[in-house]
Structure 1
Amino acid sequence: MNKEFIVIGLGRFGGSIVRELAEQGMEVMAIDKFEDKVNEFSSIASHAVVADATDESVLKKLGCRNFDHVIVAIGDDIQASILTTLMLKEIGVQNITVKAQNDYHEKVLRKIGADSVVHPERDMGKRIAHNIVSNNVLDYLELSDEHSIVEIVANEQLAGNSLIDLDIRAKYGINIVAIKRGNEVIVSPQASDLIRSGDILIVIGADSDINRFEKKVL
């Protein structure tokens, strides 16, 4: 059964979410206060509506509480973002994800009940920085302020060694939770498994430990 979503704010971030959800066959209502933005997504979203999301009566009229998830992707207007989130919570929306501009914005959003807060620009900046610092880092996903999951391409220095030979957990405090090898994914690899050149290692751990590993081995 497909879930139903609302995306409020159709800038680059919100617009990309609408497109992706629509491509996955989900029901999406796209909302923005600017008519030209709404017109842009009228043929992509299931419904596209010009509306002021800071007006509680409007949100009730649109039936927001009946949707599975609402994403507040309002751009630079922090006040509108906060008011919209507050209104959604007050009318009983169960799952609300909100785009934050900064850490202070996030603190307020969490206090008023946002279920999930994202920092797309900051998080993408971190991913890009990791990717350009090391040619071996393919992707980077922040789990918390101090922990991440990283995809690392095994180089010649790692190739030919087993996990027990490398003893990465003891030396660096990080764990290899999976190995991608072509179309194969080895989940929870064994200590005796040999690493091959070009394997993609899925590594999880504290950022400081991952950084030490990257500098020492890659």
Structure 2
Amino acid sequence: MDVTEVLLPGVGLRYEFTTADGQWIGVVARRLGDFEFVAYPDADPDEVRVLFRLTAEEAEAVIEILGAPRIAERFADLTREVPGLSSGQVEVTAGSPFDGRTLGETRARTRTGASIVAVVRGEDVIASPLPSQSLRAGDILVVIGTQQGITGVEHILAG
């Protein structure tokens, strides 16, 4: 799919594409952090119809909803393309010294070179978690790195 990026001076960026059924739509990413979803009627492509607006927080929720099912698939593709790179899942078990602590406190990336790119908590996926993200028993961490690095993250979480 081709996505066209258009700079809107003083406003932000507009991303445009045509859907599989032929609808021409756009997403305006405004400088202030909110988003507008627009459609271009067939009769006049210069006429823009705003479909709906999302705050930055609402857009983040939509990103997580739409991105969650594909995160593991994309990482699997990436690890096939880059020799030596692996993906793994590491559970925060009950009794882990990091149950109830933050991701940053693990110092996992510094200690192992592996990156924790998502936290799966039940049905929720927290993509690109910040160091301040709290960890709970039962969380599954999606880890990208060497196999040795992933094993290192497992050891850190086990204590």
TM-score (norm 1): 0.33
Q: Considering only CA atoms, is the larger Rg found in Structure 1 or Structure 2?
A: 1
* Structure with the larger RCO, 1 or 2 (CA within 8 Å, 6+ apart): 2
TM-score (norm 2): 0.44
Structure (1 or 2) with the greater helix fraction:
1
